[in-house]
């Protein structure tokens, strides 16, 4: 949905995910305008926001949050906010190739890995295993596996937005650079698909921020 012109108009992208019998709408509101009057008007008047149902304003700029919260309160909707940071790898940025240790290999994830990936995800929710399986099926994921027994040591999944998510390394195999290997592999594949690699990291996740 677009309101106004391309320079300072209001944009609202909506995606709906079905997870079993559950559904959730993901909303991406944005404007470059310095004045939020039109932005507030669009949020208040559009029929695309399901105020009485389950939905998420995802990857939303901090400067827009006061207006979103104000409109939400007027709609009788109590929002919970989680603050994070987004890290982009620009198109011209070089992704250095590194040799893998001899005892591991990098391979694609499939739906059979969904249960393990979901179990390791701190933010899993009822039905999230199916959600993870759908992301792997419709997008992709990578795992770092031990050659001797195919044990998954580290993994990540790309969501509908093209980012790098659910990065995880087995606690017994951390501080070995495996997470970096996964990020480089994910970023390379995302670029191959014509997208810009990025990661959304919660503020309190110090380890991922340093990585």
Cα–Cα distance, 82 to 84 (Å, whole number): 7
CA nearest to 11, candidates 25, 27, 29: 29
What pLDDT is stored for residue 203 in this prediction? 62
pTM greater than the 0.75 cutoff: no
Q: What is the pLDDT of residue 31?
A: 94
Model pLDDT, residue 19 = 67
The pLDDT of residue 77: 93
CATH code of the domain made up of 104-210: 3.40.630.30
Given this model, what pLDDT does residue 143 score?
A: 98
pLDDT at 202: 67
| HEC-encoded secondary structure of 42-68 | HHHHCCCCCCCCCEEECCCCHHHHHHH
Q: 19: Cβ–Cβ under 8 A, 6 or more apart, which residues?
A: 127, 128, 130, 131, 134
Report d(CA 199, CA 65) in Å as an integer.
Answer: 20
Print pLDDT tens along the chain (211 aa). Answer: 778 777 788 999 888 877 667 778 889 999 999 999 999 999 999 999 999 988 999 889 899 999 999 999 999 999 988 887 778 777 777 787 777 888 999 999 999 999 999 999 988 888 889 889 999 999 999 999 999 999 999 999 998 777 899 999 999 999 898 999 999 999 999 999 888 888 877 666 666 666 5
């Amino acid at each position: 949905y677009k309101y106004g012109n391309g320079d300072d108009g209001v944009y609202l992208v909506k995606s709906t995910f079905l997870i079993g019998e559950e559904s959730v709408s993901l909303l991406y509101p944005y404007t470059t305008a310095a004045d939020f009057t039109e932005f507030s008007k669009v949020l208040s008047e559009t029929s695309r926001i399901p105020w009485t149902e389950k939905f998420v304003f995802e990857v939303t700029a901090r400067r827009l949050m006061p207006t979103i919260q104000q409109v939400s309160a007027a709609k009788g909707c109590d929002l919970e906010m989680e603050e994070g940071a987004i890290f982009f790898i620009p198109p011209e940025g070089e992704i250095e190739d590194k040799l893998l240790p001899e005892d591991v290999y990098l391979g694609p994830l499939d739906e059979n890995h969904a249960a393990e990936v979901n179990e390791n995800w701190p933010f899993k929710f009822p039905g999230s295993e199916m959600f993870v399986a759908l992301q792997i099926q419709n997008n992709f994921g990578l795992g770092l596996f031990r050659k001797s027994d195919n044990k998954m040591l580290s993994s990540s999944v790309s969501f509908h937005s093209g980012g790098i998510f659910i990065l995880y390394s087995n606690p017994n195999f951390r501080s070995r650079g495996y997470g970096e290997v996964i990020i480089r592999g994910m970023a390379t594949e995302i670029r191959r698909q014509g997208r810009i690699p990025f990661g959304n990291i919660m503020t309190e996740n110090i380890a991922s921020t340093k990585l």
